[in-house]
Amino acid sequence: MDFLILLLGGAVLGLAGVFVRLADTTASLGPFASAFWRMAVAAPFLLAWAAVEWSRRPAPQPATPPASAPPQWFSTRSTPPALLAHWPTWGLALFAAAMFALDLVFFHLAVTWTAVGNATLESNFAPVLITLAFWIITRNAPRPIFLGGLAAALGGAALMIGPNFGHSRALLGDASGLVSAVFYAAYQVGIQQARQRLSTAPLMAAVTVLAAVVLWPLALAEGRLWPTAAVGWVWVLGLALLVQIGGQVVIAYAVRRINPALSSVGLLVQPAMAVVYAWILLGEALTAPQLLGAGMVLTGIYLARKGM
């Protein structure tokens, strides 16, 4: 049952690129604006969730935990290990929010400029980049299976991007998709470290609010902050409620209850479904080489997760 819940969450997340594209084409809502509204509309719901969790926290006991202990919605574990252990909690939350905001900026640009399937698959290169970064920083080589996954992912990306050579806008979109993976990888590191100090509700609320603050000036400067048609708000609500809250919360619920190896397979449903949604809803059919490339990318990401 938990695996089915995970698949449902991944399938919902796969709609993100479609909603961004529809907001742009049907309501002239800019990619930065859709990223901002995605955070701004979701923020009140997540803040309410955090407030409810805070109100339900157990009453403090005089002996356990001691008076100096953090509030009950904070983890009792000490500082996170590894890279960002010396950072204060507010710094971790701000870092995660900034990285997530930049991930959204480049992912939404990619969706606007290139195929939705391309953009989503490229943004899911994050596990590959995280493993590469830890390899460089710690000097600990990953398992050999990771190298096979890296080769498959890069080869598949080349097949998917190939038809866009000669089309500068689409090629720039593919580059933006790959850049978004860099920021998403940084976000995952930051959120993993912060999660050791904060529980899910306050952390998600803080990151969402801070990301909205980061995105606000970019959305203003873009000049397409408000939808030109009422249907634009439908896509905004889809991004905020289905993708940002529904998909993320469902996945967070399921992942902690099932085997990590199984979850790494299940999470591949997001980019796979994005390709299907783009084909059905946007008419973005992939060529045979691109379909082969998409399969190679999915295989590569799976092998990279196993090699982490």
Mean pLDDT for the chain overall: 80
Range of the domain at 276: 2-53+79-306
Q: Report the pLDDT value the prediction gives residue 179, as an integer from 0 to 100.
A: 93
Q: Does the residue 60 lie in any domain?
A: no
295: pLDDT strictly greater than 90: no
Which amino acid makes up residue 175?
A
Per the CB < 8 A criterion, the answer to whether 270 and 305 are in contact is: no
Residue 286 φ/ψ region, left for φ over 0, alpha for ψ in the -120 to 50 degree band, beta for the rest? beta
Q: Does the residue 22 lie in any domain?
A: yes
Q: Report the pLDDT value the prediction gives residue 299, as an integer from 0 to 100.
A: 83
Q: State the pTM of this model.
A: 0.81
Q: How much of the chain, in percent, has pLDDT values that exceed 70?
A: 79
pLDDT bracket for residue 161 (50, 70, 90): confident
Q: Does the residue 218 lie in any domain?
A: yes
Q: Report the pLDDT value the prediction gives residue 257, as an integer from 0 to 100.
A: 59
pLDDT greater at residue 64 or residue 245? 245
- Arithmetic mean of pLDDT, 142-170: 75
Distance CA 266, CA 298 (A): 11
Q: Report the pLDDT value the prediction gives residue 78, as an integer from 0 to 100.
A: 41
Closest CA to 207 of 70, 54, 98: 98
Per the CB < 8 A criterion, the answer to whether 56 and 275 are in contact is: no
Match 């990318």 to its residue by tokens.
Answer: 297
Q: Report the pLDDT value the prediction gives residue 39, as an integer from 0 to 100.
A: 95
Q: Does the residue 154 lie in any domain?
A: yes
Distance CA 167, CA 31 (A): 20
- Arithmetic mean of pLDDT, 148-174: 78
Distance CA 253, CA 233 (A): 28
- The token pair at 196 is 């050791």
- The token pair at 52 is 């409810």
Q: Report the pLDDT value the prediction gives residue 73, as an integer from 0 to 100.
A: 45
Q: Report the pLDDT value the prediction gives residue 57, as an integer from 0 to 100.
A: 72
214: pLDDT strictly greater than 70: yes
Q: Does the residue 64 lie in any domain?
A: no
72: pLDDT strictly greater than 50: no
Q: Does the residue 211 lie in any domain?
A: yes
pLDDT bracket for residue 68 (50, 70, 90): very low
Per the CB < 8 A criterion, the answer to whether 159 and 299 are in contact is: no
Per the CB < 8 A criterion, the answer to whether 199 and 75 are in contact is: yes
231: pLDDT strictly greater than 90: yes
Q: Does the residue 292 lie in any domain?
A: yes
pLDDT bracket for residue 239 (50, 70, 90): very high
Which amino acid makes up residue 177?
G
Buried b (16+ CB within 10 A) or exposed e, 50-75: beebeeeeeeeeeeeeeeeeeebbbe
256: pLDDT strictly greater than 60: no
- Arithmetic mean of pLDDT, 42-70: 72
Tell me the three state secondary structure of residue 79.
coil
Q: Report the pLDDT value the prediction gives residue 83, as an integer from 0 to 100.
A: 61
Q: How much of the chain, in percent, has pLDDT values that exceed 90?
A: 31
Q: Does the residue 63 lie in any domain?
A: no
Q: For the segment 183-212, what is each residue's pLDDT rounded down to a tens digit?
A: 988 887 788 777 777 777 888 889 999 999
φ, ψ for residue 227 (rounded to 5)? -60, 140
Which range among 137-141, 188-192, 292-296 shows the weakest confidence by mean pLDDT? 137-141
213: pLDDT strictly greater than 90: yes
pLDDT bracket for residue 3 (50, 70, 90): low
Domain count, the chain: 1
Q: Report the pLDDT value the prediction gives residue 80, as an integer from 0 to 100.
A: 42
263: pLDDT strictly greater than 60: no
pLDDT greater at residue 200 or residue 59? 200
